[in-house]
Amino acid sequence: MQWFKNKWIQLVLIILTGIAGAILTVTMFGPSSYKVNGFTVEFALQPACSGQTLIDLPPVGTLTAKTHAAPFQLSMRLERIDAGVVKDDQVLKQIQDTMGTHMLQGLKNYLLPFLIKQLLLAGLGSMVLVWALLRPRIRYIASSGLISILLVLAVLWWGMNTFEAKAFTEPEYDGVIALAPDMMRVGEQMLNNLDQLQNNTSQVLSNIRILFGKMDSLPVLGDPDGTSEVKRILIVSDMHSNPVGLELTRSIVNNFNIQLLINAGDLTDYGSPLEVNLAEQLKQISIPQVFEPGNHDTPEVIDFMRTLPNTHVLDGNVIEVEGFRLLGVPDPLSSSTRVINSDRNDSKAELEKQYNDVLNSLDTQGQPDIIVIHNPRYAEKLAGLAPVVISGHLHRTSIRESHQTALLNPGSTGASGLRGVYSEAGVPYSAMILYMQPGQNPIAVDLISYHPSDGKFSIERSLLNEPDPQTQP
């Protein structure tokens, strides 16, 4: 400070440096995470030209509203959903509770410790930066910390006294364009739709449990071959982070005496950490699981699936599970964090390489019982190379036979994914149960469909490898 002879200049410089230190420290170290009814929410403050509150709901997008007059941004980011929250028919209500002003309500419980932390950080950061850059006397360092605390306190008080949560009735949305209309109605129509869907889904899931409890008493649906060696394989695909689809899968496994679960990919929509947390409900499934990564899955999703007990991720090698030999090669896009439509021209070469990798594995490891490939572009070409070829991706159910191979696509077990929670009409939730013995051709497949818009639930059986009537004597 010797180069500044004027004490007023010294004082101004100390104050400005202290303010800069306070802002830097609060911005860098101020974000804090708190548990709100099973949800982990991160709160943060940062300077802004105008007072606003930002609610970040990955992977859906962000809502921003001009809620206060003070020049700072209050950010709230939904980081994690505990596994115990995402269960049964309460899941949609729990997710609804994190929307819009419901997250603001959660802030009230932790407002005092959060603000105290910001004030302490402001004072500490101010003193550290003043000491590091200017090296003034101790009383000036302490004064800079006190001034910064008082300044931050004044700004926070200004923001709290001008805060208006009703500003979220006219928010700004930034995120996935397909979700924009629903997110913009977060204060009104979306919550009503969620209530209605929750009520319908609760009733249907209750009916599903009752129906499944009686299913095995029906001989025609209990065992189509009449032998105990036949195993039941549940085939799901394209969950896209829909919690209702996860619950439907768990209900089928628990009530249909399933021995093996095959997931044909696209467990998530965007491969984000939040979606991985939602998928933790799969830990409640005790039977062996086989996972074929899809174009919406990421390395983080694949790593998560590998941590699940009794779960196998297909990687180009033939594996044996429950006596069945299975082969699958991950979708090319699953090796990166980019999530795009894998039907684009620039991915055709990658899909062709995936198909060739399957052929190479067949040449070196022999014929499997089941081939799983997420994108069905080359599924038809695999006919005749295995008794069953399973695919997904299209969100349309399909049961076909070619060259003594059953080509199966269970559609979308997650309907329209997170988007399906808000849509009035969309694809149904669907899955398949395959009846098959290891080393033999499949016997039958049941197509399960659930339409949440009208509450319809159906099971339709198709027998496989039936003799062609025209060839019978």
Residue whose pair of structure tokens reads 């009520």 in the numeric block:
199
pLDDT computed for residue 338 by the predictor: 56
| Domain-embedded: residue 471 | no
pLDDT tens-digit map of 248-276: 898 889 888 899 999 999 998 877 777 78
Q: How far apart are CA 154 and CA 175, in angstroms?
A: 33
Cβ count within 10 A of residue 468: 6
pLDDT computed for residue 445 by the predictor: 94
Poorest-confidence range of 28-42, 143-157, 418-432?
A: 418-432
Q: How far apart are CA 290 and CA 359, in angstroms?
A: 20
Tokens of 396: 């349309």
Among left, alpha and beta (phi > 0; psi -120 to 50; other), residue 257 is left
Residues 196 and 329 in one domain: yes
Name the domain boundary from 124, 159, 182: 182
pLDDT over threshold 50, residue 473: no
Could you tell me if 243 and 277 are in contact, meaning their C-beta atoms sit under 8 angstroms apart?
A: no
pTM above 0.85, yes or no: no
3-state class of 334 per DSSP?
Answer: helix
Tokens of 444: 């039958």
Pick 278 or 329 by higher pLDDT: 329
DSSP string, 229-290: T-EEEEEE---TT-HHHHHHHHHHHHHTT-SEEEE-S--SSS--HHHHHHGGGGGG--S-EE
Across the range 218-236, mean pLDDT stands at 70
Distance of CA 190 to the CA centre of its chain: 19
Residues 431 and 447 in one domain: yes
Residues 193 and 171 in one domain: no
Name the domain boundary from 139, 166, 182: 182
Where in the sequence is the domain holding 175, given as residue range(s)? 7-182
Helices 7-29 and 111-133: crossing angle, nearest 10°? 130
Residues 244 and 314 in one domain: yes
- Of 195-199, 222-226, 346-350, 437-441, give the range with the top mean pLDDT: 437-441
Determine the number of helices (DSSP H) and then strands (DSSP E) in the chain: 12, 19
Residues 355 and 439 in one domain: yes
| Domain-embedded: residue 403 | yes
Could you tell me if 263 and 442 are in contact, meaning their C-beta atoms sit under 8 angstroms apart?
A: no
Residues 330 and 208 in one domain: yes
Helices 111-133 and 138-161: crossing angle, nearest 10°? 150
- At residue 113, what is the residue type? P
Instruction: Tell me how far apart the 2 most distant CA atoms of the chain are, in Å.
Output: 113
Across the range 316-332, mean pLDDT stands at 95
| Domain-embedded: residue 2 | no
| Domain-embedded: residue 345 | yes
In sequence order, what are the residues at sequence separation of 6 or more whose Cβ sits closer than 8 angstroms to the Cβ of residue 451?
428, 429, 457
Across the range 338-345, mean pLDDT stands at 51
Percentage of the chain lying above the pLDDT 70 cut: 72
pLDDT tens-digit map of 184-219: 444 344 334 434 444 554 555 555 555 555 444 444
Across the range 175-188, mean pLDDT stands at 46
| Domain-embedded: residue 388 | yes
Residues 85 and 203 in one domain: no
What CATH number does residue 238 fall under? Answer: 3.60.21.10
Q: How far apart are CA 277 and CA 195, in angstroms?
A: 23
Of 186, 160, 173, nearest in space to 67 by CA:
160
Residues 44 and 81 in one domain: yes
Residues 390 and 278 in one domain: yes
| Domain-embedded: residue 472 | no
| Domain-embedded: residue 1 | no
* Helix intervals (H) in 81-188: 91-96, 101-109, 111-133, 138-161, 180-184
Number of domains in the chain: 2
Pick 245 or 432 by higher pLDDT: 432
Residues 170 and 255 in one domain: no
Residue 428 φ then ψ, to 5°:
-80, 165
Across the range 107-132, mean pLDDT stands at 88
Tokens of 469: 């009537």
Name the domain boundary from 182, 207, 223: 182
Residues 171 and 216 in one domain: no
- Rg over CA atoms, the chain: 28
| Domain-embedded: residue 240 | yes
Residues 384 and 302 in one domain: yes
pLDDT computed for residue 266 by the predictor: 92
